[in-house]
Structure 1
C-alpha cells in the first residue's frame, strides 16, 4: 500500500462513465434514466452499479482491474462514498472465478488502490484494511502485508479506532500470521489484542480465550523462553481464577524448575495431553530453562557437570549436549571445560527478577566487595614492602657512598704529605 493519493486519471463525465460501466454490467437500461434530465440521481445510479458489480468477479482477467478502478472512481464522486465502498470490498474478498491463479493478486491491487485513494482519517479505511486482511488470509499472501504492519499503529491513531475495533483488527492479523506460519508475529498481535481489555473486561470470555491462546503459543514455541510479557498482563493474571491449572503451569515456566514440572504432571495426570499440549516439547523447554536458572544462581561462575546432570535429570555424558542447546537458545553464554568437568558461566538470563534475585545480586556484590578489599590490602602491603625495600636500598647506598668518600680522603692526604716531604728534601740538596 503506497502513500495516500487522490489522483485518478480517467477521462469523461460522470454520466458517460457510469453509463459505460452500466452497459458492461448489463444494467444500462436501469441506470440510463437515472442519469438523464435535470435531476441527476447519482447515488441511485451508483447503488445499481455497486449491486451489479458482483459480476466483475467473473469478468475476463485483462478487463478486471480497469472495470473495478472505474467503479471505484465513480463511487468516489459521491458524498455517500462510505456507503458504497464496504460492499465493493466485500465483493473483492470473494473468489475471482475468472482468474483462479492471479485473482487474489488482482483483487488485492484494487483494494490497495481504494485504501490509498481515501483520506488518512477516513474511517472506511479500517473496513478496507479488514478486507485486505481477509484476502491475504485466504490467499496466503502474507509477504505483501508484512511491510504495511509497521504503519498500523499510525493508521489506528488516524482512524481513531475504538479498543474493541483495535482488538478485532489485532486478532485478524494474528490469524493471518498464524495461517502463514509466522508464529512469533501471530503471538505479538495476540498480546496487542490482550492489552486492549480494560480492568472490567479481563475476565470476559473473549479475554480469557485470547489469554489461553497466547499462553499455549508461548509454551509450545521453540524460541520463546521469557514469560514476563505474559505474567504482566491483567487478562493473563485473571487465569488464576478462571483456569487455575493453566496459571499454575505458567508459574512453573516463569520461575520454577524441572522437578516442579514433573510434580505438576504427577498431580494432574493426563491433563497436558487432554489440553492438546505436547509434553515432549514442554519437558525439553523446562530442562533448558532449568539450566538457565541453575547457571544464574551459581556464585562461583563454575558450574560442575554433576550439578547440571542432577538438575536436568540426565546422564553425565549428555551434559555437554544440553549446555550447547541452552547456549543456542540464547539463555546463557559460557565455555565448557572437559578437563575440569565444569561449565564456565560468562553470562546468563534471569527468568524472573524478584526478591530472590535481588538477594543474589546483593550476595555477589558483597563477595566482590570482599574480593576488592582483599586485593586492596594485598596491594597496600606490597606497596609498603616495596617502599620499605626501597628505603633500605637507599640507606645502604648512602652508607656505601659515605664509606667510600672517607677512605678516599685519607689516602689522598698521605700522598700529599709524602710528596711534600720529598719536595723539601729535593730543595735542600
Structure 2
C-alpha cells in the first residue's frame, strides 16, 4: 500500500486520463477499508502538494474522488481540498461551477456551521482571483457571516466585518445590502460609523445621508470613503426607491429629491438606466421618466406583503380567466 501511495507522481506524470482515474479508483477502494482509514488524507496531501505541474490532472482527480465517495465527512474533506488546491494553483475559473451549486452540495453533506464557514471562507479567497466571481461576493459574505453565533464573534471577526461593509459601501453597483444587516456579525457593529452608513445605504434616502455626513464627516472620511461617491450612490439608490413605487417620475421630482440641477437630470437618469438600477425610458418633451421596472432596495416584511398581494391578485385573475374559458366551452358543447 505504501508503494502505491508513493507511485502517485509517476502515475500522474506518465498515465493517461483513464489510467489515472483507474489508479485512484483502486486507491480509494482501499481507503474505504477501516484498516486504511488515514489513506484518503494521504492521497489528498500527495495530490495537493505540487502546485506547478499537472495541475489540471490533480484537480480533476480530486473531483473524481469526490464523486466516488458517498461518506459525507470524506466528501467534505475532498470539497475543501478541491477549492483550496484550485485557489493556490491559480485555477479559480475551473471551480466556477461550484459557486452556483454550493448550497445544494452543503445541504447534501449535512455540514455544521464551522464546516460551512470553512467552505465559504475558501470561496471568498477565490473571488479576488477572478472578475467572474464578483457577482457572488455579497451572497457568499452573507452566508459566511450567517454561520456565526453571537458567542463566536471575536474582535478579529468584527474587524473583518467592518472592512467588508466598507467594501460594499464603495461598490457603486451593489443595490440591496439589507441581507448583511440580518447577520449577527454585522449587527454586532452597533454604534459604529460602518453600521450607521450601511443602514442608510440599505433603505434610507439621499437627504438622510447628507444629514449624517454633515454631522459625521471626519468619521466617514477616516474610513477611506469618498463623500462624492457616496452621494452619487445614494442618489442612484433613492431614485431606485422612487421608481419602485411610481410608474412616472417628473424631472422636477428628481431635482428636488436628489438636489440635482435641472440641466443634469437627464444625464443622471441615463446613468441609472445604463447601470441597471432601473429600467425606464425618458420622455424629453414631457420631461418625465417612464418606469418599466425597478428592484426593491430591501426585501423586508412590507415587500413580502406587497408580493403576497400581487400573487393573490394574479391568482384571482387566473381563476376568472379559467371560469370564462369553462363558460365558453360549455356553451359550445350545448
TM-score normalised according to structure 1 size: 0.60
Structure ID, larger Rg: 1
- 1:137: how far off? 1.1
Cα deviation per residue 1:128-181 (whole Å; 9 max; x = unaligned)? 111111121123333332224444334334433221111111111122133222
Matching of residues 247-262 of structure 1 within 5 Å: 247-262=195-210
- 1:250: how far off? 0.7
Mapped partners of 2:298, 2:104: distance in 1: 33
Cα 1:136–1:271 shift into 2, 3 Å: farther
Matching of residues 220-231 of structure 1 within 5 Å: 220-231=170-181
Secondary structure of 1:269's match?
helix
1:168 aligns with 2:121: no
Secondary structure of 2:38's match?
helix
Cα 1:289–1:71 shift into 2, 3 Å: closer
Unaligned runs of 5+ in 2: 307-334
Matching of residues 257-268 of structure 1 within 5 Å: 257-268=205-216
- 1:313: how far off? 2.9
Residue equivalent to 1:189: 140
Unaligned runs of 5+ in 1: 1-44, 362-429
Secondary structure of 2:168's match?
helix
Secondary structure of 1:303's match?
strand
Mapped partners of 1:281, 1:80: distance in 2: 62
Mapped partners of 1:208, 1:71: distance in 2: 43
Residue equivalent to 1:287: 235
**1:190–1:210 Cα contact (<8 Å) kept:** no
Residue equivalent to 1:15: none
**1:178–1:186 Cα contact (<8 Å) kept:** no
**1:334–1:344 Cα contact (<8 Å) kept:** yes
Mapped partners of 1:49, 1:279: distance in 2: 62
Mapped partners of 2:227, 2:90: distance in 1: 30
TM-score normalised according to structure 2 size: 0.74
**2:51–2:89 Cα contact (<8 Å) kept:** no
Residue equivalent to 2:43: 88
RMSD: 3.5
